[in-house]
Structure 1
Amino acid sequence: MGPLSDLDSQRLFFRRIFGSDDGCPTQLKRISMDILKRCRGLPLATLTLASILADVPMLAEKWKQVHNSIGLATPGENMNRILSLSFHDLPNHLKTCLLYLSIFPEDYVIEREQLVWRWIAEGFIPETRGIPLEGVGSAYFNELINRSMIQPADVQYDGTVQSCRVHDMILELIVSISTKINFVAVLHKDQDETRFTDYKTKVRRLAHQSNCIEKLLERMSRDDLSHIRSIISFDYVKGIPHLGDFQALRVLDLGSCRSIENHHIENLEMLYQLKYLDLSRTSISELPMQIDNLRYLETLDLRGCAIEKLPASTVRLQNMQRLLVNRSVKFPDEIGHMQALQTLLFVSMSCNSIKFVEELSKLIKMRVLNITFSKPVDMVDEVRKYTDSLVSSLNELFNLESLKIDPEEGCSLDSLMGVYLTFGCLKKLVIGYISRIPKWINPSMYNLVHLELKVDIVREEDLHSLELLPCLLYLQLEMTDGSSKMLTVGSEGFRCLRESQFIWKNDGMGLVFLEGAMPELQTLHLYFRTHETIANYSGVDGNGIENLSRLKKLCVDVDCSGSTREEVEAAEDSIRKAADRHRTKLTLEIRRWCEACMIEEEAHDGNAEFPSRSVNRRANPVRVAFRVRADRRNRNRTRRNRITAPSAST
């Protein structure tokens, strides 16, 4: 990004500090202009200084102290001074957490949840009465965002930042500081590993972004290895030699190292201090039988590796809070012993016993649970037993905040239709496939903010029940049946909804928004079949997108299957006009799908009045908009009538 204009610099600066362009008090205007001159239009410098000043008393004298600390220098020197000032202005606990980010490569997308649990494993997050460690860690993460020390990468509909990046200039700063104080040692590509053996003090955390980690570790003495607290890999690695010698190791992340096999983790059970273990997307097929020796282990990530069964001793990991595995993994029946467990994904009904399902009821600290329901629908008695046990267990999980139930192919969740489920704390619910919306999804779920449903059909009364969910912010409805009726969204419901997706995979768009509908909606995503929209709903003219008063972004996926090019292009033209009618300028993201299955009208025997239909094999995706005109449909009907009517000579 290039330098900002003076006006844009002022806007960025004042909005960050005061919340508006004109919120600066009179006594601070002059010093504000002087500070902005030091930023020289650099967005990062402007934002960083504004973040510092947001916590400084609104006194000209205090602001002058910040101004004087920068001094006069070249733009590059000014930038470094500003960033250094920003770092040293951080509280000690945030300095530590920020320095830890020096382990990540440039432009790396850092997931918030994984980062927070690494901070916890390292001991950076202190115990706070009444607040879970993860909550404290998330607060630290958000504070670094607010201070512009890290940049949001993925922001959810509710403003939650799911992942972040570190600006390259800030990364350069924290790598430099981390190296000086021996906080992190980063081994880059093509870097000589021998320089790390010359450290006067012991390496504490080792992040390798190269493939020579084995050479480095082999050169280090047993005493050197015993001081390493973290090993994190971002590149190909053959293995970790002398694994049992890492007596202080808290974090071991070998995720995505496909070359890691079973023999590479021999003596894993000797890492007695280990709290965070990531073996995801490796070639590991089994864990040591003595895995319970890792008594302090809090996170175990085995997703994407070849493990099919967990050792019986796994249930004795009393401090385990996050257990992440593949759908096909078999658990020990006595999982109820893992009382600290908060996150469990995935659990397959087909791979585990009814006793295991019953034991789930004992995991009363569970907050996130993903289940794969894979009992074939023709095994009625078996399905009923599992359903009854599952429902009974779920009703005991009073702290559950996120639940995903996903059926495998050939299975249905209809056995959950007539049950009674109560979820007082549930915030997120995802149901993979069910014929109708269950009655237990109703306004009594007063904490529900995120709902995803894949159903055969949605009726008006079903939609009305969803409208009354009091705190719903995100709704995704996928309808698989081609016989849905026209749905109407009025002004009475969906009062808080901010983002919504309506997907008709086998049908047209049967949805109308009345005036006042979804008053807080900002993002709308639609997927529908153009031809069925014309045939079943007389097109989509007048669907009321302009009635979504706060809409900012409209994403449309047009399924061209069975439609003529003429119909699709008319639809695209019509939706552009609908977007133009909206009171605000919408951001449009629109794509065609299944263009290869489009039907073309072509001249037949040189007479355009007798069209033939052929499949268009061109399939270049384009960004377009949708809507079909009624007069186009009427003209097509007239043509068909001419073809079928008897001639006068017969």
Structure 2
Amino acid sequence: MPPSVGRLAGLQTLDVRDTAVERLPESFWRIRTLRHVFGHRLILPKRVGDLKNLQTLDTIKPDDKYGWDRNTLAKMINLRSLFIWELSKGHVKPLAAALKKLKHLVTLTIHGDDIPSCVFTSSSLRRLEIMELDGKLDMTSEPKDIKSCLPNLLLLSLEKTMVSQDFINKLAELPFLAGLTLDVGSYKDEHLAFSPGGFHSLRRLTIDLLELKKLEIHEAALPGLLDFDILDYSDDLEIEIVGESDIVDKLCGEDQNLYKKIKRTPKDGTGC
């Protein structure tokens, strides 16, 4: 990419996807009119200009040599879509500080070694609708009021996050969550339960957890579920349906092997 691109003072959109471009001239990142930048793991320098008009960054990664600090993204206050790849542990705190100022985010994707816990605890992300996380979630404690922090979240995809059952129970409080994907390494325990009273808006659930040994689904759990996929599972996976649930019909239609793993248990706890 020639340095002259930085002289395009009125530039609003740049799309270098499907190219070999990894780094843009530093002058490019000082174009104040920028609104949308699309690329494939573009290196975002530590110092950028006053990019208050920027709405889309897809996709970026930190500079290996200089990295980012709390000010790198902080002035991009009108960002709607942010896609970050190769986030190292050293960039978790700077990103967390920046996210507190990005109050207009609608879509957030983070792939990296560690994911900042503030994505589930910060009130600045109340407009977020779509979130995809791939990396260990740096949670010191479970989020206390997730429904207030993420009241508009519609779609959530987790991979390598290593969350707990308590965390899943908190996700169940999200009022408008319609799609949940628990991908490889997203869950750290061998027993996963969906209890009554949660996930009222969930329509699609995808589970890809080879290490899972028991999946427990209670009557009145997942009341609005329309599409349920278990992509990969252990040979000794046990599926326990407690009470009445039409989840069984959805599983039977998809995979006869899964049907053989189902154990029905009435509410009184007596298996059948």
TM range (shorter): 0.7 to 0.9
Q: Within 5 A, what are the aligned runs for 1:608-623?
A: none
In the alignment, what sits opposite 1:472?
Answer: 177
The alpha carbon displacement at 1:421 in A equals: 3.1
Alignment root-mean-square deviation, CA: 3.1
Letter aligned with residue 588 of structure 1 = G
CA distance in 1: counterparts of 2:5 and 2:135, whole angstroms = 36
Q: Decide which structure has greater helix share.
A: 1
Show CA shifts across 1:364-393 (max 9, x none). Answer: 110100112443x6xxxxx1xx22211111
In the alignment, what sits opposite 2:114?
Answer: 413
Structure 2 residue corresponding to 1:434, chosen from 136, 155, 174 = 136
The alpha carbon displacement at 1:531 in A equals: 1.9
The alpha carbon displacement at 1:432 in A equals: 0.1
Show CA shifts across 1:109-158 (max 9, x none). Answer: xxxxxxxxxxxxxxxxxxxxxxxxxxxxxxxxxxxxxxxxxxxxxxxxxx
In the alignment, what sits opposite 2:98?
Answer: 393
CA distance in 1: counterparts of 2:170 and 2:152, whole angstroms = 15
Contact 2:30 2:49 in 1 (8 A): no
Structure 2 residue corresponding to 1:627, chosen from 229, 236, 259 = 259
Contact 2:7 2:27 in 1 (8 A): no
Q: What is the SS of the residue equivalent to 2:241?
A: coil
Contact 2:127 2:152 in 1 (8 A): yes
Q: Within 5 A, what are the aligned runs for 1:92-491?
A: 287-327=1-41, 329-351=42-64, 353-355=66-68, 358-375=71-88, 383=90, 386-407=91-112, 412-413=113-114, 416-417=116-117, 421-422=122-123, 423-434=125-136, 439-440=142-143, 442-444=146-148, 445-455=150-160, 457-480=162-185, 484-491=189-196
Letter aligned with residue 511 of structure 1 = L
CA distance in 1: counterparts of 2:35 and 2:52, whole angstroms = 9
The alpha carbon displacement at 1:488 in A equals: 2.3
Residue 532 (structure 1) aligned with residue 236 (structure 2)? yes
Q: Decide which structure has greater strand share.
A: 2
Contact 2:61 2:85 in 1 (8 A): yes
Residue 514 (structure 1) aligned with residue 218 (structure 2)? yes
Q: What is the SS of the residue equivalent to 2:211?
A: coil
The alpha carbon displacement at 1:435 in A equals: 5.4
Structure with greater contact order relative to length (CA < 8 Å, sep ≥ 6): 2
CA distance in 2: counterparts of 1:339 and 1:516, whole angstroms = 46
Contact 1:459 1:485 in 2 (8 A): no
> Structure 2: which 5+ runs fail to align?
264-272
The alpha carbon displacement at 1:456 in A equals: 5.7
CA distance in 2: counterparts of 1:453 and 1:629, whole angstroms = 25
Contact 1:436 1:458 in 2 (8 A): no
Structure 1 residue corresponding to 2:205, chosen from 483, 500, 508 = 500
In the alignment, what sits opposite 1:547?
Answer: 245
Letter aligned with residue 359 of structure 1 = T
Q: What is the SS of the residue equivalent to 2:260?
A: coil
The alpha carbon displacement at 1:446 in A equals: 0.9
The alpha carbon displacement at 1:458 in A equals: 4.2
**TM-score (structure 2 length as normaliser):** 0.81
**TM-score (structure 1 length as normaliser):** 0.36
The alpha carbon displacement at 1:630 in A equals: 9.0
The alpha carbon displacement at 1:473 in A equals: 1.1
User: Percent identity among equivalent residues?
Assistant: 23
In the alignment, what sits opposite 2:270?
Answer: none
Bigger radius of gyration among the two: 1
Show CA shifts across 1:326-348 (max 9, x none). Answer: 21x32344424222110101121
CA distance in 2: counterparts of 1:307 and 1:448, whole angstroms = 33
The alpha carbon displacement at 1:495 in A equals: 0.7
